[in-house]
């Protein structure tokens, strides 16, 4: 069935070949998993220990992306990759080498959890960049062959830098999550803006942890999607169990002009670690969404997420159903 998004909820492009599987008849959840999970195995590269938490965008009628590949020396680096269908990927064996005018910035300790965001004329890449502790690295590319690195957005310690896909009130806008050096036991999402992608300020608080699956920390996931109901933000939330952290995902709607104002936010998760891929791996009990494609004409969404810090998985939803779910299961009323 080719459902048409009559409401035209999403202000975005058509991705006619978006990866898609119909919702199984017996599925009772708003998000459902691909039958082909994991779509990227941990050993796709000769030297990969694990490939997870990776970003995908449409490119030239096909798909491209930036992939977190931890190698067999357990160094965390990012690689570019391409795919005709968004499911079967060819990832470059060599990590991305950024062209950078300043040695001090270009020399890195580690790079992980990339996001990719098209703004105006190029693809920006943000990632967790090791510079005397984790901070937000920023770069850009036009073709996914040459990558240029800019200044880090923030001082350490910070993670989960997620750009908005257009300027808001004339400024670039980013979500981030100030942290510590280690496995941070806290985490709120903040909003910051910049006139030039270099100097970031006007920091605003977006959301804090609340009870349940999102009680320890929260962090932005994929690039927010602009809809008539607000910015649709999928985010991760962490619960501290007797057996360590459990990473699940929820969704929120943020004000279009003042995105630090949360309109709705889900009380239940929309995805939590339940399958073998998600519960067993290098870090058990983790689903970590990093990219979401949306085909505006049909409202089909494909969500890419890392599972158990080991493999890349895919899940699906329909944007109007997800927005209805966020509204009717909201903590904010
Ligand atoms: C976070 C990040 C993610 C990872 C998660 C679970 O702090 O390091 O890359 O998926 O922990 O280990």
Whether residue 282 has its Cβ less than 6 Å from ligand 1: no
Q: What are phi and psi of 262, to 5 degrees?
A: -85, 120
Residue 193 Cβ inside 6 Å of ligand 1? The answer reads no
Residue 134 neighbours by CB under 8 Å, 6+ apart: 128, 156, 157, 158, 159, 179, 181
3-state secondary structure of 279: helix
pLDDT for res 333: 65
**What's the confidence (pLDDT) of residue 166?**
98
Please state, in angstroms and rounded to a whole number, the distance separating the CA atoms of residues 300 and 321: 10
Question: Please, which residues have CB within 8 angstroms of residue 28's CB and are 6 or more apart in sequence?
Answer: none
Give one word for 100, left, alpha or beta, with left for phi > 0 and alpha for psi -120 to 50. beta
- Structural tokens at position 102: 């300043």
Token output for 200: 């970031």
**What SS3 class is residue 236?**
strand
Establish whether residue 179 lines the binding site of ligand 1, counting it when its CB lies within 6 angstroms of any ligand atom.
no
Tokens of 105: 């910035």
Pair of tokens at residue 24: 């199984």
Distance from the alpha carbon of residue 53 to the mean position of ligand 1, in angstroms: 8
Nearest CA to ligand 1 atom 7: 183
Residue written as token pair 């941990």: 42
pLDDT at site 4: 62
Q: How many C-beta neighbours within 10 Å does residue 84 have?
A: 12
End-to-end C-alpha distance for the chain, whole angstroms: 34
288 in contact with ligand 1, CB cutoff 6 A: yes
Tell me what pLDDT residue 8 has. Answer: 85
25, 263, 264, 326 from 333: Cα distances, Å: 31, 8, 7, 11
Mutate which of 304, 309, 312 for ligand 1? The one with the most ligand atoms within 8 Å of its CB, which is 309
Phi, psi (deg, nearest 5) at residue 276: -60, -40
Q: Is the pTM of this model over 0.95?
A: yes
For residue 208, give the nearest of 192, 224, 187 by alpha carbon. Answer: 187
Asked whether 53 lines ligand 1 (CB < 6 A), one says yes
Report whether residue 325 contacts ligand 1, using a CB cutoff of 6 Å. Answer: no
Distance from chain centroid for Cα 48: 21
Return the ligand 1 atom nearest residue 288 CA: 10
How much is the pLDDT for 107?
A: 84
- In this structure, the residue with its CA closest to atom 3 of ligand 1 is 113
Cβ atoms of 42 and 49 within 8 Å: the answer is: yes
Minimum CA distance residue for ligand 1 atom 11: 183
Pocket test for ligand 1, best of 55, 113, 136 (most atoms within 8 A of CB): 113
CB of 134 sitting under 6 A from ligand 1? no
pLDDT in tens, the chain (333 residues): 456 665 789 999 999 999 999 999 999 999 999 999 999 999 999 999 999 999 999 999 999 999 999 999 999 999 999 999 999 999 999 999 999 999 999 888 999 999 999 999 999 999 999 999 999 999 999 999 999 999 999 999 999 999 999 999 999 999 999 999 999 999 999 999 999 999 999 999 999 999 999 999 999 999 999 999 999 999 999 999 999 999 999 999 999 999 999 999 999 999 999 999 999 999 999 999 999 999 999 999 999 999 999 999 999 999 999 999 999 999 986
Return phi, psi of residue 214, to 5°. Answer: -120, 40
């Amino acid at each position: 069935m080719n459902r048409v998004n009559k409401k035209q909820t999403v202000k975005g492009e058509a991705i006619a070949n978006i990866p898609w599987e119909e919702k199984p008849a017996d599925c009772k959840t708003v998000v459902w998993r691909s039958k082909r999970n994991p779509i990227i195995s941990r050993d796709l590269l000769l030297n990969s220990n694990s490939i997870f938490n990776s970003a995908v965008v449409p490119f030239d009628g096909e798909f491209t992306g930036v992939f977190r590949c931890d190698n067999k020396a357990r160094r965390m680096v990012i690689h570019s990759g391409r795919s005709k269908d968004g499911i079967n990927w060819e990832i470059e064996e060599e990590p991305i080498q950024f062209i950078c005018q300043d040695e001090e910035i270009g020399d890195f300790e580690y790079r992980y959890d990339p996001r990719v965001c098209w703004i105006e004329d190029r693809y920006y890449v943000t990632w967790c960049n090791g510079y005397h502790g984790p901070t937000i690295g920023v770069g850009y590319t036009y073709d996914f062959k040459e990558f240029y690195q800019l200044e880090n957005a923030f001082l350490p310690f910070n993670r989960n830098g997620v750009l908005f896909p257009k300027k808001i009130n004339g400024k670039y806008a980013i979500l981030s999550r100030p942290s510590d050096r280690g496995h941070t036991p806290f985490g709120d999402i903040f909003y910051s803006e910049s006139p030039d992608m270099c100097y970031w300020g006007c920091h605003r608080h977006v959301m804090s942890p609340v009870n349940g699956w999102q009680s320890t920390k929260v962090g932005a996931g994929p690039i927010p999607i602009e809809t008539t109901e607000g910015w649709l933000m999928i985010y991760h939330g962490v619960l501290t169990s007797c057996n360590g952290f459990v990473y699940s995902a929820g969704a929120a709607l943020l004000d279009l002009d003042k995105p630090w104002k949360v309109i709705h936010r889900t009380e239940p998760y929309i995805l939590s670690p339940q399958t073998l891929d998600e519960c067993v791996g290098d870090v058990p009990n983790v689903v970590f969404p990093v990219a979401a494609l949306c085909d505006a004409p049909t409202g089909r969404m494909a969500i890419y997420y890392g599972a158990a810090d080991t493999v890349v998985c895919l899940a699906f939803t329909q944007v109007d159903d997800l927005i209805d779910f966020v509204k009717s299961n909201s903590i904010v009323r």
